[in-house]
Amino acid sequence: MSETVPAFEMAVSVEPGDIDVLGHVNNVIYLRWVQDAAVAHWTALAPAADREKLVWVVVRHEIDYKQPARLGDRIIARTWVGHATRVRFERHTELLRASDRALLAKALTLWCPLDRSTAKPASVSAEVRARFSVPAPEAD
């Protein structure tokens, strides 16, 4: 993670409907938490004009499951943006058990910004890239 771009954290509770037949949180729920953390991060830090202009779509998800979460656990979703170009943001997310900060899952997601009115890829300003991310090694 970049030293200049702090991680965003949000708390998540495990609900009864999150539990699968194996007695732990279903893998689809982890993915929902990854998306919820990304949206919350964008909503909390993006300028209003950019929130009105842009929406985001996932291009790719990678997720590694390390330990199960169980009913009653409190989860910390910790996310930050790594490399970003005008049309692609690399977002990292860690899902941690709040009681001991054990890593439950980690994800790497590639996001593409879309113009809200046209639903076509849209360029993100240098200001937004600087606020959320580190420079990408190569441009799109």
In a domain, 87, yes or no: yes
Domain count, the chain: 1
Residue 132 pLDDT: 83
Indicate which CATH number applies to the domain containing 100.
Answer: 3.10.129.10
Residue 53 pLDDT: 95
CB–CB of 33/12 below 8 Å?
yes
pLDDT greater than 60 at residue 106: yes
Q: Quote the pTM value.
A: 0.89
In a domain, 56, yes or no: yes
In a domain, 113, yes or no: yes
In a domain, 132, yes or no: no
In a domain, 117, yes or no: yes
In a domain, 137, yes or no: no
Which residue(s) pair with 78 in the sheet?
9, 94
pLDDT greater than 90 at residue 140: no
Q: Which amino acid is at 129?
A: R
pLDDT tier at 125, thresholds 50, 70, 90: confident
- CA distance readout (Å), 110 to 43, 87, 140: 18, 10, 13
Residue 12 pLDDT: 97
Mean local confidence (pLDDT), 91-117:
97
CB–CB of 45/8 below 8 Å?
yes
Q: Which residues form the domain of 87?
A: 8-121
